Amino acid sequence: MVREILVWPHPVLKQKAQPVTVVDDSIRALIKDLFDSMYAADGVGLAAPQIGVLKNVIVLDTTPRQPESKPLAMVNPQLLSLEGTVDYREGCLSVPGEAEDVERAAIVTVRYLDEQGVEQTLRCDGLLAIAVQHETDHLSGTMFVDHISTLKRELIRKRMKKLQAAQEAERKEAAAAAKKARSGGRSEAR
């Protein structure tokens, strides 16, 4: 199911997610929702807190840019090592329309549980290494905008506030229209 992706600075995005104790069907359902929501929004990665679930679960799919890669779900991901540095222009589904350069490690080794609860270790580079760092950041309440200058971050915050106000107005309008349609339908039936 496609879930609503929270927009920064939503307070849930600042919270720390909790480790998963058992990889069961509820976690696999969460993983499916994360993939559905990520693909619907055309993203390469999504973390559970972005759909309001404070659990250590992320999904990634960088195959459009790295054909040798594959879609990955990671439960309780832990970065074991970081090698080198690279500047990468990042965006985030919770900060729509924005992109800024962030300094990251070029190569990472990550340990995680897969969808079956089996421990895996992966060493990766390129976009996948960036995405792993970006998504694991979400699990500790850190956004890519926390890695950029205060000035840039505050400008983005203003644009997000405007965007949220517009979305809120749209929602209210739609709700009012739906209410009107319902009451119209009732009086017609009478």
Residues known to be catalytic: 135
Joined together, the tokens standing for residue 125 give 């580079």
Which CB, 2 or 175, lies closer to Ni ion? Answer: 2
Joined together, the tokens standing for residue 130 give 């960036």
Q: How far is the CB of 93 from Ni ion (least distance, A)?
A: 6
Q: How far is the CB of 94 from Ni ion (least distance, A)?
A: 5
Neighbours of 169 (CB within 10 A): 10
Residue, CB closest to Ni ion: 92
Joined together, the tokens standing for residue 147 give 């890695």
Q: Look at residues 147, 128, 151 and name the one whose alpha carbon lies nearest to residue 137.
A: 147
Neighbours of 81 (CB within 10 A): 11
DSSP state of 18: B
| Contact positions vs Ni ion (CB under 5 A) | 92
Rounded Cα distance, 138 and 29, in Å? 20
Which CB, 76 or 94, lies closer to Ni ion? Answer: 94
Q: How far is the CB of 183 from Ni ion (least distance, A)?
A: 41
Which CB, 87 or 173, lies closer to Ni ion? Answer: 87
